[in-house]
Structure 1
Amino acid sequence: MVSPNTNNYFNFTPLLASCAVGTLEFRAAVEPVRRFTHASSSYQAWCDSIDFKNKTLKCVPATPRPAAAQAISDSAAPSRGQNSDSFILNYDKLVIAVGAYSQTFNVPGVKEHAHFLKDIKDARSIRTRVLECFEQAAQPTITDSERRNLLHFCIVGGGPTGVEFAAELHDLLHTDLKRHSPVLADLAQISIFDVAPNILGGFDSGLQEYATKKFKREGIQLLTQRHVERVEAGKLFVKEEGEVPFGLLVWSTGLAPNPLIESIAEVEKDPKTSGVITDEHLNVIMKDSRAANSDVFAIGDAATVQGNPLPATAQVANQKAKYLTRKLNTTIRGKQHVSPFKFHNAGSLAYLGDWEAVYDRTKVRGPKSRWTGRLAWLLWRSAYFTQTVSIRNKILVPTYWFMNWIFGRDLSRF
């Protein structure tokens, strides 16, 4: 396994919004990679290129070269340029599962001044910034105008990630922070900006309307059909609104292709997502022959099935991974695995705050249904609890839920 992740863990992304506001602690949303690699070789490295003809990978270590002494700080995290050494790995079968990056649409200033929500480190920085905004707003030297600007929390992107973070943040503001800083909590404002006419674009229209009414009732500002032109420190410039000051900006507008995928010229790519195109058996389709490469597979956000585009969700990635595991194990045993991959849509969930959620089953095979409110919330929590991987996290997740329900969220900033 080759991964450049400077922290050797796997993120359970559906729980990152909860971690960002203290509903869950950070360790409940991560699984250490080394726990699952005892029977394999694992390298913390970047894959620079793939030679499909010779079946080799050129890799560069993602760790810094050994030195007599190194400072230990966040700024010392290894980057691609800190190690120029490279090594070659041979493969018999290759699985490309490099994921995708956060899409910025090349809006100036986003990378410098916005927070993303793709990694547990993002959740930590968001949580720190939210609490920092309240500490700054509490200072007697701050004017009322500056105080309102600091407590304006903006979210760009009205999909499930943006909506769930807004809901979790609203819970934090109107429970724990309102109890400790009622005046400041009343000044806080959450705003969601999106280019689409409605939030939760992939959901049933009735559920979109339900979520919209709930958010408006809770005082969350929904600014749809808005176009962000640029971002500066503490300022969002929107075409329809002009200058919008903020204390925190979370950017969640979809996915951009991984640079490795962009650099591979030998494979067919989807014109819309720029992801690798695979056949129904998840084999990569080569550009020159227009045929599937029987030794190379692609899954997750980096790939799309030819003629059957699927949403870039954890549900799809999880089912592809399980299918490919069965396929490779069957092949190793000398048996022929011929059944194609079929996605079984279990529906879509989104948390709306205050123990309410929506569950969309209108696009699944079989009986169609739409669930809202507490029942959908129970299903939302049950689904994510059962999807946690380790026994350790299956204990931690409900434990933190119960502790925070009894004692409230931890408001310490560290």
Structure 2
Amino acid sequence: MLKALTGSSLVKTSTSSPLTRYFGHLSKSKTKTLGKSHGRVIILGSGWAGYQLLRKLNKKDYEVTVVSPRNHFVFTPLLASTAVGTLEFRGIVEPVRGYSKDIDYHQAWVDGVDLKRQVIRCTSNLEDNKGQEFELDYDKLVISVGAYANTFNTPGVKEHGIFLKDISDAKKIRNRVLECFEYAAQPGVSDQEKAAKLHFAIIGGGATGVEFSSELYDFISEDLSRLYPQLMDHTRMTVYDVAPSILNTFDSKLADYATKKFTRRGIQIKTGTHVVRVEKDYVELKEEGKVPYGMLIWSTGLSANPLVESLKDIAKDERSHRILTNEHLQVLDDEKKEPYSNVYALGDCATILNQDLPATAQVANQKAIYLSKTLNNEVKGKPTDQGFSFKNMGSMAYIGSWKAVVDMSAVHEGATEGGFLAWLFWRSAYLSMTVSARNKMLIPMYWFSAFLFGRDVSKL
């Protein structure tokens, strides 16, 4: 192996392989010599914050580079729909490279950031050279790596639970649901085994947990009930939450409305419940002991990304461990709380000092728009003096059977709605927010196909 050092980029490569020539090219790209007046902006992550920023950033004056282990953006509000076949996976993804030919992209993990040298250390996430290390230097760095699911160090969650954060999780869920039904349909399976295998446990009663429970209910009641009618008496769903109610960030009337709808459909809601540990076939609860399940979905909030945890010399929130920034989204020094002028953080991995904003797609999206305007104005010589201000546009959640809850009381007092009209608003709002014209066409097509022909029940 040969260490090739050019400028500030260090790459370990083999001298004879095509990979050498490829990564050797990377090693020669130095900042301030890119033909762009304001140098290289590296964006870490392709989630809501990172993808919106790469779309809005001025690419005539900035060399925009995106580093992310996945080469696409996921429209997460509709992720639960793909887990049960209401939508297909392609309808909610946007390729990073597909948006613009004027950006550079590397499918890799970021292992560390050297703030003094202005360098990021990366590891390739490609199958043909997985683990290959390389470095990239930057003029401006934007950290938008998101966050991981919070397990609260509960034993067994990572090994036996399923999260709902990405397309791979949705595929795993769809296959697991069908696996449970096929298992219960086989001869020789006792009623007790059927009841255990067809118990679907959702840990977390927030918007994600409620929406997934609703989508799963629709899938079972509208599609699987036709294919496995003999198993419906053995099928049940339970939503567990440590809080006193589900949807506790919504207006209390809407939360009560959703609770009543769930109860009438036979979806059990058990609040004030604490999970002790998760095993392969059962979850142990403090209040009930061991409860068997066929599939367990874990949706209980967020924890810090490992990259964020590894970063030194930057300030972090003591409670959430997210990166602390000032009102201009600049990362703060750990000691004096002074900003790094060329390092920014936004999305779920960051929070503003003395502003406890929620880690939601809405906040991440607005931060990305603000930062893009700031950096674009910098090119024009128009510094942005005003800091970031979050405008709460409300919350929405699907609750099944063509009904939803919409809480826009933050926009206008009393602007809350639950039922069919709220569902129409929920669907039309998310369709309008979809990025590409292609997906604006695909999503209604998938919705109509599922309505007309039913959801796909093939294991992938």
Task: Classify the TM-score, shorter chain.
Answer: over 0.9
Query: What is the DSSP-based 3-state SS (H/G/I as helix, E as strand, rest coil) of the residue aligned with 2:104?
Result: coil
Give the corresponding residue for 1:113.
160
Distance 2:70 2:332 in 1: 32
Matches within 5 A, 1:325-344: 325-344=372-391
Q: Which letter does structure 1 place at the counterpart of 2:216? A: L
Q: Alignment RMSD, CA only?
A: 1.4
Among 34, 41, 46, the residue aligned to 2:109: 46
Give the corresponding residue for 1:245.
292
Distance 2:134 2:228 in 1: 55
Given that 2:254 and 2:405 are in contact with CA atoms closer than 8 Å, whether structure 1 keeps it comes out as: yes
Matches within 5 A, 1:53-92: 53-64=116-127, 66=129, 82-83=130-131, 85-92=132-139
Q: Which letter does structure 1 place at the counterpart of 2:92? A: A
Query: What is the DSSP-based 3-state SS (H/G/I as helix, E as strand, rest coil) of the residue aligned with 2:202?
Result: strand
Given that 1:50 and 1:58 are in contact with CA atoms closer than 8 Å, whether structure 2 keeps it comes out as: yes
Give the corresponding residue for 2:442.
396
Tell me by how many angstroms 1:338 deviates: 1.7
Distance 2:69 2:110 in 1: 14
Percent of aligned pairs sharing the same letter? 52
Q: Which letter does structure 1 place at the counterpart of 2:107? A: Q
- What's the CA shift string for 1:342-396, capped at 9, x where partnerless? 111110001000011111122x144432111011111110111011111111001
Given that 2:202 and 2:238 are in contact with CA atoms closer than 8 Å, whether structure 1 keeps it comes out as: yes
Matches within 5 A, 1:231-380: 231-362=278-409, 364-380=410-426
Give the corresponding residue for 2:39.
none
Query: What is the DSSP-based 3-state SS (H/G/I as helix, E as strand, rest coil) of the residue aligned with 2:343?
Result: strand
Give the corresponding residue for 1:34.
97
Tell me by how many angstroms 1:288 deviates: 2.5
Q: Which letter does structure 1 place at the counterpart of 2:270? A: L
Given that 2:394 and 2:411 are in contact with CA atoms closer than 8 Å, whether structure 1 keeps it comes out as: no
Q: Which letter does structure 2 place at the counterpart of 1:116? A: F
TM-score relative to the length of structure 1:
0.93
- Does residue 1:222 correspond to 2:269, yes or no? yes
Given that 1:92 and 1:295 are in contact with CA atoms closer than 8 Å, whether structure 2 keeps it comes out as: yes
Tell me by how many angstroms 1:114 deviates: 0.7
Distance 1:265 1:194 in 2: 35
Distance 1:395 1:36 in 2: 17
Change (3 A) 1:5 1:135: farther
Distance 2:68 2:325 in 1: 25
Q: Which letter does structure 1 place at the counterpart of 2:160? A: H
Q: Which letter does structure 2 place at the counterpart of 1:405? A: F
Distance 2:416 2:44 in 1: 41
Consecutive unaligned residues of structure 2, counting only runs of 5 or more, are: 1-42, 46-66
Tell me by how many angstroms 1:65 deviates: 5.1
Give the corresponding residue for 1:171.
218
Tell me by how many angstroms 1:34 deviates: 1.5
Tell me by how many angstroms 1:181 deviates: 1.8
Given that 1:226 and 1:240 are in contact with CA atoms closer than 8 Å, whether structure 2 keeps it comes out as: yes
Tell me by how many angstroms 1:49 deviates: 1.6
Query: What is the DSSP-based 3-state SS (H/G/I as helix, E as strand, rest coil) of the residue aligned with 1:403?
Result: helix
Given that 1:29 and 1:120 are in contact with CA atoms closer than 8 Å, whether structure 2 keeps it comes out as: no
Give the paired residue count.
397
Given that 2:191 and 2:234 are in contact with CA atoms closer than 8 Å, whether structure 1 keeps it comes out as: no
Distance 2:380 2:424 in 1: 41
Q: Which letter does structure 1 place at the counterpart of 2:439? A: N
**Range with bigger deviation, 55-64 or 380-389:** 55-64
Query: What is the DSSP-based 3-state SS (H/G/I as helix, E as strand, rest coil) of the residue aligned with 2:398?
Result: strand
Larger radius of gyration: 2
Given that 1:21 and 1:127 are in contact with CA atoms closer than 8 Å, whether structure 2 keeps it comes out as: yes
Tell me by how many angstroms 1:5 deviates: 4.9
Give the corresponding residue for 1:155.
202
- Does residue 1:411 correspond to 2:445, yes or no? no
